[in-house]
Amino acid sequence: MKNTSIKIAPLSKTDYDFWLVLWQDYLSFYETALPLSVIEATWRNILDDNVAIYGFGAWERDVLVGFTHVVLHPNTWNTTDCCYLEDLYVSEDVRGQGVGRALIEQVYAFANEKDCNRVYWVTQEDNTSARKLYDDIASLTDMVQYRKNL
What's residue 49's pLDDT?
95
What's residue 146's pLDDT?
85
Averaged pLDDT, 53-64: 96
Report the C-alpha gap between 31 and 48 in whole angstroms: 28
**Is residue 73 pLDDT above 60, yes or no?**
yes
Report the C-alpha gap between 149 and 64 in whole angstroms: 32
**Is residue 2 pLDDT above 70, yes or no?**
no
Q: pLDDT category, 58, cuts 50, 70, 90?
A: very high
Between residues 131 and 3, the one the model is more confident about: 131
- Give 79-114 pLDDT, tens digit per residue: 999 999 999 999 999 999 999 999 999 999 999 999
Q: In what order do the strands lie in the sheet with 6-10?
A: 6-10, 53-60, 63-73, 82-90, 118-120
**Is residue 34 pLDDT above 60, yes or no?**
yes
What's residue 147's pLDDT?
86
User: How confident is the prediction for the chain on average, in pLDDT?
Assistant: 94
**Is residue 64 pLDDT above 90, yes or no?**
yes
Under a CB-based contact definition with an 8 Å cutoff, are residues 51 and 45 in contact?
Answer: yes
Report the C-alpha gap between 12 and 18 in whole angstroms: 11
